[in-house]
A = this chain, B = another copy of it.
Amino acid sequence: MKITPEEIWSDLLKIREKAPLIHNITNYVVMNITANALLALGASPVMAHAENEVKEMVSLAQALVINIGTLSNHWISSMKKALYKAKDLGVPVVIDPVGAGATNYRTKTVKCLLGIHSPSVIRGNGSEIKSLAGENSNTKGVDSQISAIKAINAAHDLSLNHNCIVSISGKTDYIIKGERKIGIANGHSLMTKVTGLGCTASALTGAFLAINPSAFCAATHAMVIMGIAGEIAAEHARGPGSLQMNFLDALYGLTKEDIKNRIKLVNLI
């Protein structure tokens, strides 16, 4: 399927109309901004991590987003339970491997999760994606030390191994499924100075997966929306504080014209 402003707008309208329930098992740092971004987009967020309820919550949800940003053993147990349930029910899954490559614990946890069930989308920065493909990644804490473009080969392999989409965020974002690749040159450099926007991209990807059966399109649409909202936000920002606020306002107010006028796709060979 081709990526067009019309299809992106149509998906956005569907999210606003249906308000799909997105179940997030995510990190403490970004829970608030993630929930607010999903609400601003038009989706219904729920954050729930108790082992006793994750299965029930997954069964109510239209997508599951697992983010390992501040993981610990109890949370990993819940992530696994939720993932098994999503696999059983066919609920689409996004995995965000925050900080994979920085510590063994993180890399191993993500590999374990990927072993249970191949998600629809893995979304991370270049370092994280490289580390999952077994390459030296130089992840620095949770920041990427390498550009997204250098992770394209790793993403290619990862997407084939797990039969999933790999979404790499960076100056240009890349959506990869084997030989199929697209780049998105939207966004603004000030976005790297706000914590949790990568995690937010994963959550928004979940919202698009909830209403679009093509994971490639859903992942692409989400990153276009992220980038455009970020650009609009940056235009009136005096720094990262006002960018964060404006980003939620921009997501909420996004129009068809914004998408048409701003979308910057990069077709890759």
Q: A: which residues have CB within 8 A of B?
A: 19, 21, 23, 27-33, 35-36, 39-40, 44-53, 56-57, 60-61, 69-74, 99, 102-106, 140-143, 192-196, 237-242, 244-253
Enumerate 14 A-B pairs (CB-CB under 8 Å) in ascending A order: A31-B70, A36-B194, A36-B244, A40-B193, A46-B142, A48-B70, A56-B102, A56-B104, A60-B102, A60-B140, A240-B249, A241-B247, A241-B248, A242-B249
A105, B238: Cβ atoms closer than 8 Å: no
Q: Give the chain B neighbours of A106 by CB distance below 8 A.
A: 53
Q: Which 7 A-B pairs have the closest CB atoms?
A: A239-B249, A241-B248, A46-B141, A239-B252, A53-B105, A35-B195, A241-B245
- B70, A47: Cβ atoms under 8 Å? yes
Given contacts A53-B105, A72-B74, contact A141 B23 (CB under 8 A): yes
Set B45, B71, B74: member contacting A141, Cβ < 8 A: B45
Distance in angstroms between the alpha carbons of A103 and B51 in the assembled complex:
12
Inter-subunit contact A61/B239 (CB<8 Å): no
* A243: min CB distance to chain B, Å: 9
Evaluate contact between B61 and A49: CB separation under 8 angstroms: no
Q: A29-B31, A242-B246 are in contact. List 15 more A-B contacts (CB 8 A).
A: A32-B32, A44-B142, A46-B102, A48-B99, A52-B105, A53-B105, A56-B102, A56-B103, A57-B103, A60-B140, A72-B74, A239-B253, A240-B249, A241-B246, A241-B249
Tell me the nearest residue of chain B to A193, going by C-beta: B39
Chain B residue contacts of A19, Cβ below 8 A: 143
Contacts A36-B195, A60-B140: A99 and B46 contacting too (C-beta < 8 A)? yes
CA distance A165 to B103 in the complex (A): 31
A240 surroundings in chain B (CB, below 8 A): 36, 39-40, 248-249, 252
- Hey, which chain B residues are within 8 Å of A46, CB to CB? 99, 102, 141-142
CB-defined contacts of A31 to chain B, threshold 8 Å: 28-29, 70
Our pick among B35, B105, B248 for the contact of A56 (Cβ within 8 Å) is B105
